[in-house]
Structure 1
C-alpha cells in the first residue's frame, strides 16, 4: 500500500534495520518475505508524522492476525556505545538514544512526536503445520498471506497503512540442535522487582523469564546450586541465590536438601529447558576461592543461617575439599535418581587464563574425582587448557576460536562478550543487526555445538557493586558497551524483548534452516550455497556486511527447501 497521507509517512522495512529518531530513513521499502512453518518471522513498519499525534492506534488485518504481535520500538540511552579499540563496522560511535526495547502497544494509543522516524515491530509466530491444520488451515503448497497494518490518529482519523506479504513454504523449521545458554541473574530479578529470593513471586518471574528465553532458542539454564561466583568484586558479595539447602551439624558433618532443586527441574521441564548448567564451584578468573555458600548451623542454642564459604576460603584447602567430598556424591546421587545424567553440565571457573592454569588444574581434579562422568564446559580463550585435557568442552570467544578450529576440536562451543568488538559478530546497540544475525550461518558452517552468553539480564554495575535501572543505564555503569550486559528489559510482570534478542533468534532460525536443507540435499550443497558469490569463504572474521545478503541468502535457502520438499 502507498504512503497515503501527506502529513504521515509509512514504510515497511526488514527486521535488520535500526531506525534512529534523529536521522532520515534511507532504507528502501521491503514488503515481502518467506518463512517456514513453526518459525517466528518479523518485519518493521516505520512511520513519521509532520505533526504531533496524541493517540496513534494500530490495527492488523490478516488471516495470521491471531499469531501476530505488534510492538513499538523504543529508545534506550547509551553513554558507552563502544570501546576505543572497536572497528568501524558500526552504525554510530556517539552517545545518544538507540532503538532497542520493544514495548507492548497501549490501549490508549502512542504519542507520535513530529519529524521523527519511529517503527513498529511486527512478529508473526507461525504455528506448526499440525497446529495450523487443527485451526482449519491448509499447509499444502506455498501459502501467501497478506498483513495489512493500519494507522489511525486522534479521533480515529485514518493516517496511513502498509501491506506486507508473507509466503509460507510447505516445510517446517526443525527443532534446534545447538545448545544455547544465556546466563540469567536471579538476584537481579529479585532486586529490581523488590521481592524475596525464591519466594512465590520470584519463582513466577524466573519461569516467565525462562519461558521467554526458550522461545528465543535457549535450551540450557544456569542452575544456581550455590550463589554463582560471577561478576562479583573480590571480597564482595551478591545476594544469596542458592537452590541446595545445607545443614552443618554440631558434629561438623553436612546434610543436604534438594527440594528447591526438584522444583527447579520441574519448572525447566514445563518451559522446555533441556539442559541444566550447574553454576561454577570455584570463583571467576582463576579458581582460587570457594563460591559463597550458606548453611544452617547451631549458634547460641539456635539454628541460624550463616555463610560458611566465600572469598576467605582457599579453593583447594582442606575445609572446602571436605565439603565437596560430601556434597558432590550427594549431588551425583540426586542427578541419577531423577534421570538427569544426560542433561547436566558443570563448570569449574569462568574465563581462566594461562597464568592460572595450575590453580584451575587443582580445582578441576577435585570435581572430576566425583563428577568425571559429566561434561565440563568453560568460557576461555587459551588453547592450552584444552590441549592439556583440562576442559573437554571448550568455549572460546569467537575472536579466539581459530586455534581450536585449526586443531580440529570436535565438541566446540563459542561465545562473545564485551571484548569481541573487532571484526566478529556481536550485538551491541551501535552494531548493525546484520552483524548480530550473521552468527547463525557461522555456527552452521563450523559445526559449533553450543553458544554461551553471560548477560541475559545483568542489571548491575561491573562487579555487582550496585544495582542499576536498565532503562537508564545500559552499559553496566560505564563498564561494557551498551547491549552487552542484558538482552531483555524488566517489564511489569515479566521480560520485555529487545530488537537484539529478536534478531538473535533469527540467527538461530537461519542455522535450523541450514540443517533442514542439509537433511534434504547434503551438507556440501549447503556450504556451497553459503559461500556462493562471496569474494572469500565465510569465516568468523570474514563475512558479508550487507543486510540484503542475509535476507537474500535465507530466501535462497527457503526456495531450495521448498523445491526439495515437493512444493
Structure 2
C-alpha cells in the first residue's frame, strides 16, 4: 500500500531491511505452515515525515498466538573479516537490522522520514489454528487514528504437526555474562530468575542442550586470566580428600527440566586449546574459599588427577540417582590441535574409564586427530566436515563460529538470512545428529578481558564478526530475540518438515526433491543462495506433506 504518508509491503523473514537503501524484495502474500511451527513474516514500511507514536494493529488469525516486534538497528564495526566471499548483504560497517523488541502500547512505533524499517510478525501455529486459509491484516495508523498503511498476508495451515526435534542443539550458555551485565550476584535469586528466562527463550528456539557449569567453564579466557566464578558444585578440601555438594546442580537440573531442556552438556574438564591446565575450581579449605586449581595447575599432575577421579566418581553416581545420566554429555578440552595431541591424550586417559558410558564430545576439525581414537564424538566445523562425512563418522555433529566466513552457512549480521536458514537442509541431507555453537549470550570482549554492552558492541571488541558472539540481547527484564535466532529456528523447522516428509516417501526421494532444480548436489559448501529458492522449496515440501496426509493437492509452489 502506498499513500502520501507511508509505503508498506509484506516481505518474508529472509529479507534484511536497511534504513539507508531502497527496499528490494519480491512479493510475499501467502505461505503455508504446519502445526507446531513458529512462522514469521515482516511488514516493511517507509515514511516521508517524522511521525511518533504510530499505532500497529493485527487482525485475523488466532489473536493470542500472534506477536509483533520492531526490528531495531544495531551497530557493527566489524561486519566481516578480510578475504570474504560475496554471499553477503553488505560488508561495510554501519547499522544492521537484527534486534527484536516489543512494541509498548503507550509508545507505538516511530516512522523516520526517508527510511525503510520493518515489523516482525510471529505466528505460533498450534492446534488453535484450524486447517485452511487465515488472512492476517497488519495496519499502521497515526496517533490520531488515521490509517497510514495496511497489508494482508494469508497463512495456509496444513492439518498435521511437525515431528519432535531429533537434532541435539547447544548454543553455549554463559551464566557469568548474565550476572555481569545485569549487575546481580552470581546464583542470587535475581540471577536464577534471569537464568531461567534465558533458558526458556533458548528452548523455545530449538536449543535442547544446555552447557552446565559444573565449574567455571574454561572457555574464551585469557591465559592467566579469570572469568567470574559460576560453579554449580560445592567443593570442600580436607587434606587429600574432597567432598562435594550438589545442591546448586540439583536446582539447575530441575529448572532446566521444567523449561524443557532435554540434554545436559557438562562443562569442560580441562582448559581450552590443548587440555594443559585445569579449569578454575574454588573450594572451602579450612573454612575459607580458595582457588585450588586453575592456570597454574598442570592438568597431568597427580593432584588434579586425584581430584578428578574423586569428583567424577561421585558425579556419575549423582547423575544416575537423578535419572539424567542418559541425558548427559561430557567434554575434555575445546578445539585441540594436532600438536596438542599428547596433552589431550593424557587428559582422556585420566578420565576415560569413569566416563566410559557417556558420550564425550569436543570441537575438533582435524580428521587425523579423530583417527587417533581419542575423541568419541568429534564436532568438526562445517568447513571441515567433509572427511567425517566421507568416512561415515557417527554420531555426526558440526558447528560454525567466526572462522567459517567463506562458502559455508553462518549467521553474521552481514550475511543474508538464507545463509542462516540453509543449515537445516544441510543437516537433513547428511543426517547430522547435533549442532553446536559457542555464543548464545557471550557479553564480553575476546578472551573475556572486558564486559561489553551488546547493544553497542556486537563484535566482541573487534574480535569476531557481528552476529557470532550472541543470539539474544539482554533486555531490561530478560532476553530479547534477534532475527538470527528466529531464522535459525526456521532452519530447524525445515529440518523437521523434511524428516516428516521422509516418513512418507523415504530419504532418497526427499533428497531428489531438494536437488531437482540444483546444478550441483547440496553440500555444506554448495547450496542455493536465494531466499526465494528456500521459500519455494519449503512450500513444495509442505505440499507433498499435505498430499500424503490428505490425498489432495491444492497449494502452489
Q: TM-score, normalised by structure 1?
A: 0.96
* Aligned mates of 1:341, 1:467 — CA distance in 2: 35
Contact 1:64/1:147 (<8 A) preserved: no
1:109 corresponds to 2:97: no
* Aligned mates of 2:376, 2:240 — CA distance in 1: 35
Contact 1:434/1:550 (<8 A) preserved: yes
Residue 297 of structure 2 corresponds to 313
**Secondary structure at the residue paired with 2:72?**
strand
Contact 2:364/2:370 (<8 A) preserved: no
Residue 257 of structure 1 corresponds to 245
Contact 2:77/2:94 (<8 A) preserved: yes
* Aligned mates of 1:218, 1:445 — CA distance in 2: 20
Contact 1:60/1:150 (<8 A) preserved: yes
Contact 2:36/2:125 (<8 A) preserved: yes
For 1:199-278, what aligned pairs fall within 5 Å after superposition? Answer: 199-249=188-238, 251-278=239-266
Q: CA deviation at 1:533?
A: 1.0
Q: CA deviation at 1:369?
A: 2.2
* Aligned mates of 1:261, 1:488 — CA distance in 2: 24
Q: CA deviation at 1:385?
A: 2.6
Contact 1:379/1:394 (<8 A) preserved: yes
Residue 510 of structure 2 corresponds to 526
**Secondary structure at the residue paired with 1:273?**
coil
Contact 1:282/1:363 (<8 A) preserved: yes
Q: Which moved more, 1:145-154 or 1:276-285?
A: 145-154
* Aligned mates of 2:123, 2:146 — CA distance in 1: 27
Q: CA deviation at 1:29?
A: 2.1
Stretches (4+) displaced over 3 A: none
* Aligned mates of 1:154, 1:329 — CA distance in 2: 65
Out of 143, 164, 168, the residue aligned to residue 175 of structure 1 is 164
1:323 corresponds to 2:307: yes
Q: CA deviation at 1:349?
A: 0.3
Residue 291 of structure 1 corresponds to 279
Contact 1:48/1:116 (<8 A) preserved: yes
Residue 453 of structure 2 corresponds to 469
Q: CA deviation at 1:530?
A: 0.8
**Secondary structure at the residue paired with 1:384?**
helix
Out of 49, 52, 55, the residue aligned to residue 54 of structure 1 is 52
Residue 437 of structure 2 corresponds to 453
For 1:16-35, what aligned pairs fall within 5 Å after superposition? Answer: 16-35=14-33
* Aligned mates of 2:151, 2:2 — CA distance in 1: 9
Residue 555 of structure 2 corresponds to none
Out of 470, 484, 490, the residue aligned to residue 468 of structure 2 is 484
Q: CA deviation at 1:371?
A: 1.2
Residue 336 of structure 1 corresponds to 320
* Aligned mates of 1:465, 1:275 — CA distance in 2: 30
* Aligned mates of 1:110, 1:560 — CA distance in 2: 40
* Aligned mates of 2:73, 2:486 — CA distance in 1: 16
Contact 1:15/1:503 (<8 A) preserved: yes
Residue 367 of structure 2 corresponds to 383
* Aligned mates of 1:26, 1:409 — CA distance in 2: 43
* Aligned mates of 1:342, 1:151 — CA distance in 2: 51
Cα-to-partner distance string for 1:197-253 (whole Å, 9 max, x where unaligned): 01111111111111100111010000000000000000000000000000012x331
* Aligned mates of 1:433, 1:168 — CA distance in 2: 24
Contact 1:147/1:164 (<8 A) preserved: yes
* Aligned mates of 2:390, 2:431 — CA distance in 1: 13
* Aligned mates of 2:110, 2:423 — CA distance in 1: 36
Structure 2: gaps spanning 5 or more residues: 553-557
Structure 1: gaps spanning 5 or more residues: none
Equivalent residue pairs, number: 550
Cα-to-partner distance string for 1:301-333 (whole Å, 9 max, x where unaligned): xx1111000000000101101101211100011
1:560 corresponds to 2:544: yes
Q: CA deviation at 1:7?
A: 2.0
Residue 96 of structure 1 corresponds to 94
* Aligned mates of 2:546, 2:309 — CA distance in 1: 56
* Aligned mates of 1:154, 1:522 — CA distance in 2: 54
Residue 187 of structure 1 corresponds to 176
Residue 494 of structure 1 corresponds to 478
Contact 2:8/2:151 (<8 A) preserved: yes
Q: CA deviation at 1:4?
A: 4.3
Q: CA deviation at 1:90?
A: 0.5
Q: CA deviation at 1:352?
A: 0.5
**Secondary structure at the residue paired with 2:139?**
strand
* Aligned mates of 2:63, 2:523 — CA distance in 1: 39
